[in-house]
Amino acid sequence: MDKVIERYSQWESQLVSQNQAIDLGKVKEALGSIVIETPSWGYADSGTRFAVFTQAQAAKTLRQKLEDAAQVHKYTGVAGSVAFHIPWDKTDNWGEVKGWAKELGLKMGAINPNLFQDQDYKLGSLTNPDPAVRAKARAHVLECIQIMRETGSEYLSMWLADGTNYPGQDDFRARKHRLQEELAAIYAAMDEDMKMLIEYKFFEPAFYHTDLGDWGMATTFANKLGDRALTLVDTGHHPLGTNIQHIVSFLIDEGKLGGFHFNDKKYADDDLTVGSIDPYQLFLIFCELVAGGEGKAIDVAYMIDQSHNLKPKIEAMIQSVLNIQTAYAKALLVDRKQLAQAQLAGDIVAAENILKSAFETDVRPLLAKVRQELDRPLDPLAAYRASGYAQRIAQERS
């Protein structure tokens, strides 16, 4: 422990000498106070498009999902919220689940309706041409709102798989009008302390058109609904090369950024570990969040959405949390005064180098110090591996 403190002191002295404007007290406070929500479905067995590769450690029950999520929070200190998927996590006793969460030091997070699995949804859910199917989908979402009341959840996380696969299959504008009508009915049923997060995806499983195909469409619907309807950015739901940080900046300025589903991708919606493919983009996204939050990331929902099929699930989730913390820490170290001066002077090289300098900073001493102050292990992944939890649950659950 003394070596960590000594290393941090040396690191702090060097950083402050380079950037006198940095307030490391505020940086540490920001890093220790962010809440990263993990998904219940990320702890259970899940499949690729071709098969399900089971893991002995995978959670089989809702209680086990919460126990695994609690391990991620235990070792990182910033993952104390869990998102739920209905009906995958459906129960007749949400009071009992709230008790489990409290016992494990967790908070009940976003509720995610399932509008893509039922056979009735082949031609869409809320946009389906059949009024009976639309009514079924609406009733399911209203059920989720009631679950929000029982759990104290703040966010209704809406993703639609709705779309078409062939030209002429359905009328674009008719589907748009159906979706607007259904979302308005759902929004009206929400309590005043609830927020609707509208997610988008430019393709899959619909390959000709998707009813919520991009952030502009999602935001258009959110604007029509009201102030408590916001846009949810899933970092894997974009065409290759999309400037996600620009989208984030635009939504912040419009007051319509509701939160994130963090993951990473190489080709499409690959559900890879956050920051495993493009850590620089993750850093640039957090640069915009810090710029919009005047010294710390703005107050939105920071959620992970990934289902690992090859990596051990808890370890992969810890990796994602650590990668988010790393990107956030580097974004907090950007010398914004010098950056603004370079931008106003049109000095492109200097502006870019200011960002690169922060990105290339070794923030491990800083994060170790933050974890020490949170009374968490300095190396969360190593501590989890040494705990024996993975071996124990593999034996119990198999």
- Contact in structure between 132 and 89 (CB atoms under 8 Å): no
* Per-residue pLDDT, 20: 60
**Residue 188 above 70 pLDDT?**
yes
Q: What stretches of 190-267 show up as alpha helix (H) in DSSP?
A: 215-225, 244-254
Quick one: pLDDT at residue 17? 72
Q: What number is the average pLDDT over the span 75-103?
A: 97
pLDDT tens digit sequence for 228-243: 999 999 999 999 999 9
CA 281 to centroid of chain Cα atoms: 15
Percentage of the chain surpassing pLDDT 90?
90
Confidence of residue 15 (pLDDT cuts 50, 70, 90): confident
CATH of the domain at 185: 3.20.20.150
Residue 370 lies in a domain: no
Of the candidates 199, 119, 106, 114, which has an alpha carbon nearest to the alpha carbon of residue 153? 106
Asked if 149 and 191 count as a contact pair (C-beta separation under 8 A), the reply is yes
Distance CA 72, CA 330 (A): 22
Residue 299 lies in a domain: yes
Q: 19 lies in a domain?
A: no
Q: How confident is the model at residue 1 (pLDDT cuts 50, 70, 90)?
A: low
Residue 343 domain flag: no
Counting the structural domains of the chain, the total is 1
Give the confidence band of 267 by pLDDT, cuts at 50, 70, 90: very high
pLDDT digit string (tens) for 132-145?
999 999 999 999 99
Q: Is residue 57 predicted with pLDDT exceeding 80?
A: yes
Residue 48 has pLDDT above 90, yes or no: no
For residue 17, tell me if it sits in a domain.
no
User: Is residue 167 situated within a structural domain?
Assistant: yes
Query: Considering the domain boundaries, does residue 357 fall inside one?
Result: no
Whether the upstream peptide bond of residue 365 has omega within 30° of 0, thus cis, is no
Residue 4 in domain: no
CA angle in degrees (0–180, nearest 5) for 256-262-268 = 105
Owner of token pair 């894997």: 236
Helix then strand count (H, E) for the chain reads 15, 10
Domain that holds residue 249: 34-334
End-to-end CA distance of the chain: 38
Q: What is the rounded distance in angstroms from the CA atom of residue 287 to the CA atom of residue 293? A: 10
pLDDT single digits (tens) 278-317: 999 999 999 999 999 988 999 999 999 998 889 999 999 9
Which distant-in-sequence residues (6+ apart) come within 8 Å of 222 by Cβ?
Answer: 196, 198, 229, 230, 231, 256, 258
CB atoms within 10 A of CB 349: 8
Q: Which residues pair with 81 in a beta bridge?
A: 37, 107
pLDDT at 344 over 70: yes
The pLDDT of residue 252 is above 80:
yes
